[in-house]
A and B are shown apart, each in its own frame.
Chain A
């Protein structure tokens, strides 16, 4: 597959993806509601921190952290594995394989095309976050915000690649969806989605630093809340992109070897 062909088709892929996202607006709204866990955690941790800050997190910090988490989750969410799993199992992946655009690109475009709708949902929350907490709990360094843009893209790309890897598991396993269940358990613990990484004991924090989950959510959130100076932010960004490079290699290898096993059942 030539990259030129894919780049040329990308605007149309994005346009169609957006139209599909709009066609599925009810489903998307339900999905958005289902990602409100950070708001639940906000209420919980705010109650816990009512009397005294926990590890430096007062109510204001928790509010900024979990509203940022909600925004980052909206901007980086991707559930391509579900579609891939379905299409590999029932053979409809065949229809994508017949087109001269690598299916991974069309999955990515579909995920990316849903972004405007998600921004529409997450922007009011970001506005509320700013109004409630003021800017004092958010980073004031414009360079850190530049790093944040790269980190958000990196977090989205990492989430997409992990989805592709898990989706490719459908070529090899009968119950590949269970792999994502396992991933999500670890993700919820180590990503900072439910608990800020700063609240972890030292050993778990060290572990979270080397695992990929934090770079999907916690890292961009920490950049928003000003937890890292520029040097530290760049260091973590480099780690995030190393994870991306590793995930890309694994995804490509699994995709190629999976295609050889693809049975295109049915029809």
Chain B
């Protein structure tokens, strides 16, 4: 379905130092710098797959999505989406894909969303019966109700995003590129959007690539994640695998029936640490291999009323992964990328 080989997208940007002298000098000599937004990535995505595209700000995620959707011409490399070369922007290709950019909108600002839907029906050449059916379905799934008849400018951010999704799906694309679709939305709206996207994927066997800084979106929607940093691929595999390799720790959450001394806890976790502790509640972090032993000791020596074992929060895992990668990059050469697509995140914590 999607095949990417040695994809590079480099930008030339002009730079100048602050100050009048630099401004005058820049009139005659402009300093240029090449920025490697995407620097040689490879991956394949199968039909119907849901893939999370992760990375810190400026990693190259959105650039990659824009190349895949034909908005940007790659500097070099090979890209194929559903058999099409995206940069050619053929009608048949554009009718198969959709791209939602969380910070950009296609809805006509001063007109109701229903007018954008109608416009998309015409430009995507959707037969009227199919349009009516799709709209009915989208209205029900996204609970659009009367929203579609109010001017877009009067809608809240969450309402706009729901209408944005509906507008982008009127032509029933089978490849969805979603770039931060839940940005700025409240928790309940995030859940609505997530749930809707998953149902659309399941009903239509649509392929999905999602970027999001909300790890809950990724955990809920994407069995597979691709992590890029500084334009290079640093992980391609399951989320579980990423977590295990980055942070081979588990969190043991304990609740006590009576107060427990901090020293007793410290003795319990010789190879880990106490993340937090108060009289009735503690969180321990230990290597996954030590979990059974620590749990056994805790149950036998402490007044435990409740105990759960969890993975560390995804946000922490990602933060640690990026920090480690950046640290490695700083000491490892000008480009700072991973080892040409090879994962660097698995080495000891």
A residues sitting closer than 8 Å to B (CB atoms) are 1-2, 5, 8-9, 11-13, 16, 19-20, 23-24, 91-92, 94-95, 97-101, 259-260, 262-264, 266-267
Contact = CB atoms under 8 A, between A and B. Distances in A.
A143 B205 CA distance: 61
A262 to B, nearest CB: 7
B89 A13 contact: no
Contacts of A19: 111, 115
A24 B11 contact: no
Nearest to B72: A264
A23 B110 contact: yes
Residue from A12, A259, A264 whose CB has the most chain B CB atoms within 10 Å:
A264
B94 A99 contact: yes
Contacts of A1: 89, 91
B120 A264 contact: no
B211 to A, nearest CB: 11
Interface of B: 11, 62, 66, 69-73, 89, 91, 94-95, 97-99, 101-106, 108, 110-111, 115, 118-125, 179-180
Contacts of A266: 103-104
A100 B111 contact: no
A267 B125 contact: no
A264 B91 contact: no
B106 A5 contact: no
Contact of B95 (A8, A92, A100): A100
A8 B110 CA distance: 24
Nearest to B94: A100
Given A19-B111, A259-B73, A267 B102 contact: yes
Given A1-B91, A262-B71, A95 B106 contact: yes
Given A12-B118, A99-B123, 10 more contacts: A12-B119, A23-B111, A95-B104, A95-B105, A97-B89, A100-B94, A100-B95, A101-B123, A259-B73, A264-B72
Nearest to B112: A19
A94 B104 CA distance: 9
A5 B123 contact: yes
A9 B125 contact: yes
Contacts of A23: 110-111
A95 B119 CA distance: 13
Contact of B91 (A2, A24, A262): A2
A91 B91 contact: no
Nearest to B37: A263
B119 A16 contact: yes
A12 B94 contact: no
Contacts of A24: 110
B99 A99 contact: no
A90 B245 CA distance: 39
Contacts of A12: 118-119, 121-123
Nearest to B103: A267
A5 B179 contact: no
A9 B123 contact: yes
Contact of A97 (B70, B110, B180): B70
Contacts of B72: 262-264
Contact of A100 (B62, B119, B123): B123
A2 B92 CA distance: 10
A150 B95 CA distance: 36
B122 A8 contact: yes
Nearest to B69: A98
Given A266-B104, A267-B102, A5 B66 contact: no
21 contacts: A1-B89, A1-B91, A5-B91, A12-B121, A16-B111, A16-B118, A16-B119, A23-B111, A91-B104, A94-B66, A94-B104, A95-B101, A98-B70, A98-B97, A99-B120, A100-B94, A100-B95, A263-B11, A263-B72, A267-B62, A267-B101
Nearest to B120: A99
A135 to B, nearest CB: 41
Contacts of B123: 5, 9, 12-13, 99-101
Contacts of A101: 123
Contacts of B120: 99
Contacts of B101: 94-95, 267
Contacts of A9: 122-123, 125
B231 to A, nearest CB: 15
Nearest to B67: A264
Contacts of B122: 8-9, 11-13
Nearest to A19: B111
Contacts of B73: 259-260, 262
Contacts of A91: 104
Contacts of B69: 98
A95 B120 CA distance: 12
B116 to A, nearest CB: 8
Contacts of B11: 263
A1 B100 CA distance: 21
Nearest to A6: B123
A23 B115 CA distance: 13
B125 A20 contact: no
A20 B119 CA distance: 12
A112 B300 CA distance: 81
B91 A97 contact: no
A143 to B, nearest CB: 38
B104 A92 contact: yes
Contact of A99 (B104, B111, B124): B124
A103 to B, nearest CB: 11
